[in-house]
Structure 1
């Protein structure tokens, strides 16, 4: 072999090894995650999901660049339980954050109308109701894979001992409200006359910049307070929508305020996306966008339509929420899935997408959607979606009914059945033919009712569901 040929082969071999190493590094690189959680944003509260009154160009761009789900659900129709399911990856009987508060205890007429007492909310003395420290949060799981973690915004899972800094996050604090927001732990160096969403966005971008400088993968949990009440939009956006919708009698004044607040949420998301692009992190970052539960009641319920129900109800409008996943060049742009998914799926999915091991000896109730998102399958392995909602509230003596009460709900094979614990009765909807729950059909499908009852009972056994306890204060005739 000539000397020239020897050096040529050596050079080619060296170049090939370098290319393989570079390719290996690209494959092994851990993707970042930005998880944006809106508050009380209904299924019809985005332009991309069909509401033409909404101005959400940045979210709509995310929608076009990723995969969205048309049958996405919250784990609960209220804030704290759904957030506990997201962070813990577990159903309510496991994490035991059943309700925001026990309002029935201070409402004599409601308490005396209840046959049963619901299970107790998990509480820690001095820290209130919230998520136990023995739960392994998604942030803790990612930290075991060398991720930097942050959480600025609404926490709603306990104070003091149960706060953000003790739940796997390297940095962050809770912010509640919009203008004159409150912080926990107290942050004395912040100007709380600013809009909380702007502060959350700024703090999150600072975290992302610092993580990049440290050459660390990151998980940024971004739970905005928008569009939760109080209805406090920015003045310029309120003026904009008042002028735009002047003379439209179908839209109420509260709905105009919500439209203005959605525009602020959209601005914040747009700033986060622009920061990723400016920092050259767009290709290496998974973006997840969803809401904690359905929309609260407004004049015409334009943010839940065409579905029945609102926040605080297990009708579709109370639990259906938007879901968007983006990972440039990995998740197909403009793709859509009709598969039913729910909050507990987010934990195992983020672990799957980031190559993070599941915590040992820790149960996760959701499905890993990685193969679905990456186009390797079109279906999940799920048998059923289950809800337990134990919130007794506002008994109406004249109508002899609660505004909300203990129900267990199962969706399976295109049907949705609700068990009314108070009356031991069941209602059934055929969502395949009637997605808007206009016709109760239990008499038409007795075999399906029985099948769903059996599946629900299996779920109760599997999750160590707490059976109803007789209420000693019950005095209802």
Structure 2
């Protein structure tokens, strides 16, 4: 009898312990995601990336807590196509946002010297923008029960193609700095406030609310900084004027940009502080990058030592900073030299958050999770490829365009550029010549042939549109 009683007693104790253990097991929620996108911020526009004129202590701190990439690229040297690639996870020929604007159509001197016409920008009901058939990062994460927000520069369509229709629970487009504009128009907004401060405030409000509700969130924070117009805060402008008054190598535009970068840094610092104050730092992935390279300034100090600026496929026009932070998961102050590109962000966020990829939807990028979590050092892909179709600003005296249709492929450090209307090619070896000073196609016909073949394969895979004859062309 005593034995039976003892067995029953032990069984009850075991059952109670098991029940108690069950009750204290915490269900692991997916990590939150804060994705910060700067506007026109060049590869050399941060102190942590080497520009000691820049004051960016908060972004530098993020850099020290992240894995950063030294060979990070945009998908395009201008805003709209690169942002479409980020949001859709697809190369330009798939999403068909080719250009910010078709300036050649209203510029007769440019149109008449173009032997070919580039493909048309994607239109929905007559408006240029990202098709609703594309499944955005936000839509993919919503399917994994994420709350989503986006306050800032959208640039992928208005009205039916705007933020509210592309997978975001809340948000709207904000463009400009002082006297900023909203789309759709918001009546109860003080647009005299600096837009970066306003965007930061709205984002922190969203984060705070979702934290209270216990809902994982994805917040896209596309600041307008440091896009033109040059409108720094007066106190920061005065600070840099005084600091650099005896430095003849820094132009007046560059002083204004330095002041604007300081405002961007303030906003990033406020976001980081909010995450820390809310106890979310351990459970939040932070991504920081830019949409394309920096625009031209007096000495191009924000792209150096690379050649090229925004609007060009030279390295200075397409290299951008990249940082990925996830405390205790991604090794802090680590570095990768692997070439990565905007279309990698989408699959990487799916990988890090264990979110299922959309069914029957092509993602052109690679999930960088194995690199970020230290399981490998190399990507699997064999090539990075760009299509840039922007004909603009033909100069009659020089006989040159400011930009034109080029396709670019990079394989194992070799970078081949195809000039589409002349069917000519130039080649650089970025391994030994990262600043593109020595053209080597004539000495390397086998490499040129290999890259041309791979480029042609990519064109077939992505639905590349071939050039059309320009009926307005007037042969010189």
TM range (shorter): over 0.9
Q: CA RMSD of the aligned region, Å?
A: 1.6
Q: Which residue is equivalent to 2:426?
A: 427
SS at structure 1 position matched to 2:324: strand
Q: Within 5 A, what are the aligned runs for 1:246-395? A: 246-395=245-394
Q: Within 5 A, what are the aligned runs for 1:87-126? A: 87-125=87-125
Question: How far apart are the structure 2 equivalents of 1:14 and 1:450?
Answer: 72
Question: How far apart are the structure 1 equivalents of 2:20 and 2:341?
Answer: 43
Q: Tell me if 1:441 matches 2:430.
A: no
| TM-fit CA distance, 1:6 | 7.4
Could you tell me the TM-score, scaled by structure 2's length? 0.97
Q: Which residue is equivalent to 1:79?
A: 79
Q: Which residue is equivalent to 2:469?
A: 470
String of CA shifts for 1:209-229, please: whole Å, max 9, x gaps.
Answer: 111122111000000000000
Question: How far apart are the structure 2 equivalents of 1:451 and 1:166?
Answer: 42
Point out the more displaced range, 431-440 or 394-403: 394-403
| TM-fit CA distance, 1:413 | 1.0
String of CA shifts for 1:328-385, please: whole Å, max 9, x gaps.
Answer: 0000001100000000000000011111101011100000001110111111101100
Question: How far apart are the structure 2 equivalents of 1:131 and 1:209?
Answer: 30
Q: Within 5 A, what are the aligned runs for 1:166-185? A: 166-185=165-184
| TM-fit CA distance, 1:314 | 0.1
Give the direction of change, closer, same or farther, for the CA distance of 1:16–1:430 in structure 2 (3 Å limit).
farther
Q: Within 5 A, what are the aligned runs for 1:382-421? A: 382-421=381-420
| TM-fit CA distance, 1:124 | 2.2
| TM-fit CA distance, 1:186 | 0.4
Structure 1 segments (4+ residues) deviating >3 Å: 1-24
SS at structure 2 position matched to 1:422: coil
Q: Which residue is equivalent to 1:188?
A: 187
Question: How far apart are the structure 2 equivalents of 1:414 and 1:394?
Answer: 31
Structure 2 unaligned residues grouped into runs of 5+: none
Of residues 25, 28, 31, the one that matches 2:27 is 25
| TM-fit CA distance, 1:3 | 6.8
| TM-fit CA distance, 1:111 | 0.3
SS at structure 2 position matched to 1:409: strand
Q: Within 5 A, what are the aligned runs for 1:54-69? A: 54-69=54-69
| TM-fit CA distance, 1:90 | 0.3
String of CA shifts for 1:166-215, please: whole Å, max 9, x gaps.
Answer: 00000000000000000000011010000000010000011111111221
Give the direction of change, closer, same or farther, for the CA distance of 1:10–1:241 in structure 2 (3 Å limit).
farther
Give the direction of change, closer, same or farther, for the CA distance of 1:341–1:179 in structure 2 (3 Å limit).
same
Question: How far apart are the structure 2 equivalents of 1:439 and 1:11?
Answer: 78
Q: How many residues align?
A: 474
| TM-fit CA distance, 1:476 | 2.7
Give the direction of change, closer, same or farther, for the CA distance of 1:110–1:189 in structure 2 (3 Å limit).
same
Question: How far apart are the structure 2 equivalents of 1:54 and 1:14?
Answer: 61
Question: How far apart are the structure 2 equivalents of 1:463 and 1:359?
Answer: 18
Structure 1 unaligned residues grouped into runs of 5+: none
| TM-fit CA distance, 1:311 | 0.1
SS at structure 1 position matched to 2:174: strand
Question: How far apart are the structure 1 equivalents of 2:424 and 2:24?
Answer: 62
Question: How far apart are the structure 2 equivalents of 1:18 and 1:263?
Answer: 52
Question: How far apart are the structure 1 equivalents of 2:450 and 2:19?
Answer: 58
Give the direction of change, closer, same or farther, for the CA distance of 1:16–1:336 in structure 2 (3 Å limit).
farther
String of CA shifts for 1:133-190, please: whole Å, max 9, x gaps.
Answer: 1111110011111100000000000111101000000000000000000000001101
Question: How far apart are the structure 1 equivalents of 2:332 and 2:377?
Answer: 15
SS at structure 2 position matched to 1:406: strand
Question: How far apart are the structure 1 equivalents of 2:71 and 2:145?
Answer: 33
| TM-fit CA distance, 1:243 | 0.7
Question: How far apart are the structure 2 equivalents of 1:307 and 1:403?
Answer: 18
String of CA shifts for 1:84-139, please: whole Å, max 9, x gaps.
Answer: 0000000010000000000000111100110110000012236x211011111110
